[in-house]
Chains A and B, each alone.
Chain A
C-alpha cells in the first residue's frame, strides 16, 4: 500500500466539544441514561473525525471522544484496579490515577468499539488507533498488589497484546502505543522495551510508538531493539533543539511533531515548512510522517483545528517541492517489513 509522501496524522486526543464534556459530567452524576451518553460520544466521535478530514489529515482518529483520559480509560476497563480520586498532572489538569489492588485481568475489549465506529464512519482508508502502553499504565498507577514493577508491567503487556490482536483481527491497520512514561526511570528502560515488545508479539500490522516530554537520547539507544515501525516524537515544544539523537534512527519512520500542543499560539505555515525541512537533515522524506507534538485535547478546539490546517498546508507546500525530485509517495510499512 502507498501513501502520499509525508503522510499527516494526529497523535490521538482532541478537545472534546463542550456539550460532550457536559454529558460526561451528567453521566458521572448518574443523571443520564447510559444509552444517551453513548449516543453523544458517537456523535462527537464523528464530528471530530470530520474535523480531522476537513483539515486534510491523511490518517485521522476521533480524538479519543470515548475516553475520559488516556490511562483512566484503560484502568477502568481492566479488572484489578480501583480508584481513590483525581491526581493533578499540571495546572488544573487531573486524571483518576488507579491503584492495582488485585491481579490484573482482561475482562473486555478496551478500544475495539471505538475503532469499529471510527472505521465505519471515516472516508480514510487507514486510521490510527492510539493505545496507552503497558509501562505507562503501570507507571501512572499505584501498585498495592504486585511484588515488583516487572510483574505489574508484564501482566499489562499481556493484556495490551490481547487487545492488539483483537484489533488486528477486526481490520485495524495502524496502532500507536503511547508510552510517554517509558523513559521516566533510566534503569527501567529495558523493562519498558521488553513490555512493548511483549505487547506487539505476533502482531503484523503497523505499530508506532509515541513518547513525549522526555530525554530522547535515552530512547535512541533502543531504537533498534523496539519492535515498532515508527517513533512519533515531540519537537515543537522543545523548539526543535537537540535533534542529533535522530542520527541513531535507521530503517524506522519518524512521526515528526511540528506543532506545540501546550501553546495556544498557532504556528504559521512557513514556520512548519522550515521545521519539516529541518527533519530532512536527519531522515529521507520517505521515512517521515508529520503530526502534532502530542494530543491536542488541552487546546481550545478552534485553535487545535487551525493547527491541523496549517500543518496540512505546510505539508502540501513541501510535497510540491519533493514532487520536483520525483518523490510523491511512501510505502505503508508494517511490522512484517522490519
Chain B
C-alpha cells in the first residue's frame, strides 16, 4: 500500500514571513502574529487535504531552520553565527555547546497542540507528526566546546529530545536526521570528529522506545539503519540500503529541482519496492523549503496521486 506523506517543512509563505518581520520590529502584536500562524497552518492543512497527503506535519512555519528555535530552549547552548545547511543556499544558526544540556521551558508542545486542533477542524482523517531535529544531526551541526566527544554530545541531545518527545501530543515523532546519510558537508564546516555508528543507532533506538519514530534521512544513502522506526530514505540522491525492514518512507520526488517528475515514471520506480514492503510512505526527498511555494505544492499534488496502490 502506498501512502503519500509530508516530511519536515513546507516553504514558509512570504505573507507569513512579512507578519513575523513586522512582529520582530514591534509593528505587530504577539496575538496578531499567533493569529497569522494559525491562519496559515489552517490553509496548509486544507491544501494538504486537497493534495491527498495522508501523513502531515505542521510545515514548521514557526521554525527558521530545523534547529531553531529548539536550541534556544536548551540550557547549555548559545546560538552562534550562520552556516550553510549542507550545500544549499539555505542557512542555519549553529548551537554552541557550552555546558550540560537540559531542556528549558519551551512552547513546542503548545504549538503541536494548536496544530492538532487545526487538523481536527479541517483534516481530521490525517495523522500529524511532530518534527524535531535528531540527536546525531544536532551533534554534527553543533560547535562542541563542552563534551569530551561527539558521542557524548549525541547522548546529551538524546536526553533533551527524549524529554521533549514525552510532552508532545502526537503518536509519531519525526526526527530530522540527514547526518545518518550525508556527512556534514565539508563545503561548510571542517569537522574532524565523527559519531560512532553504534552510538547513533542506539541513540535513535532508545528514543523509539518513547514514541513511534519516523527517521528522515536525505542527501545520500543512510549509513546507519536503526531498528523499530520508519526510516525515510532519499531515493533521488541516495538509495535504499539493505537491512531496512517494516514500513519505509521513500523520498521519490525531488524537492531541490523545479522540473516536474512524471507520475508514470514514479510508479514504475515504486513497483520494485512494493513486493518488499507492505506499506510504503512516499515523500519528497528532502525539505520542501528548497522550492518556491507554488512548485512545492505541485510536487505534493503529484505525490498525492501515487497514493492508494
* CA gap between A86 and B258 in the complex, in Å: 12
Contact indicator B289/A213 (Cβ below 8 Å): no
Is residue A19 within 8 Å, beta carbon to beta carbon, of the partner chain?
A: no
B11 contacts A by Cβ under 8 Å: yes
Q: Mark A135-148, 1 if CB is under 8 A from B, else 0.
A: 00001101110000
Q: Contacts A89-B91, A90-B91; is A142 near B64 (CB within 8 Å)?
A: no
Does any Cβ of A come within 8 Å of B21's Cβ?
yes
- The chain B residue sitting closest to A96, CB to CB, is B292
Does any Cβ of A come within 8 Å of B1's Cβ?
no
> How near does chain A come to B309, taking the closest CB pair, in angstroms?
28
Minimum CB–CB distance from A177 to chain B (whole Å) comes to 17
Q: Which residues of B have CB within 8 Å of A84?
A: 258, 292, 294-295
A234 and chain B: residue at smallest CB distance = B81
Expressed in whole angstroms, the Cα–Cα distance for A181 and B292 within the complex equals 19
Contacts of B254-302 to chain A: CB distance below 8 A: 257-259, 289-295
Docked CA distance A186–B84 (Å) = 14
Q: Is the CB of A140 within 8 A of B21?
A: no
The answer to whether A238 has its CB under 8 Å from any CB of chain B is yes
Q: Is the CB of B186 within 8 A of A87?
A: no
**Min CB–CB distance A230 → chain B (angstroms):** 22
Query: In the complex, which residues of chain B have a beta carbon less than 8 angstroms from the beta carbon of A183?
Result: 187
Asked whether B89 lies within 8 Å of A89 as measured between CB atoms, the reply is yes
Which residue from A86, A140, A217, A262 sits with its C-beta under 8 Å from B89? A140
Q: How far is the CB of B286 from chain A (nearest CB, A)?
A: 13
Is B11 a contact of A214 with CB atoms below 8 Å?
no
- Number of A interface residues in the complex (CB < 8 A): 35
A263 to B81, CA, bound (A): 8
Residue B190, interface by CB 8 Å: yes
- In the assembled complex, A260 has its CB within 8 A of some CB on chain B: yes
The contact of A262 among B20, B81, B258, B289, by CB within 8 Å, is: B81
Complex interface: chain A residues within 8 A of B92 (CB): 90
Q: Is A117 an interface residue (CB 8 A)?
A: no
Q: How far is the CB of A75 from chain B (nearest CB, A)?
A: 13
Which chain A residue has the least Cβ–Cβ distance from B258? A142
A83 — nearest CB in chain B belongs to which residue? Answer: B292
Minimal beta-carbon separation of B169 from chain A (angstroms): 27
Return the contact of A237 from the options B82, B187, B257 (Cβ within 8 A).
B82
A251 touches B (CB below 8 Å): no
Instruction: Report B-chain residues with C-beta under 8 Å of the C-beta of A94.
Output: 14, 17
B187 touches A87 (CB 8 A): no
Chain B positions near chain A (C-beta within 8 angstroms): 11-12, 14, 17-18, 20-21, 24, 64-65, 81-84, 87-92, 185-190, 257-259, 289-295
17 A-B interface contacts by CB (under 8 A): A84-B258, A85-B292, A85-B293, A85-B294, A87-B289, A87-B290, A88-B11, A88-B90, A89-B89, A90-B91, A94-B14, A143-B257, A186-B186, A215-B189, A217-B190, A218-B186, A218-B187
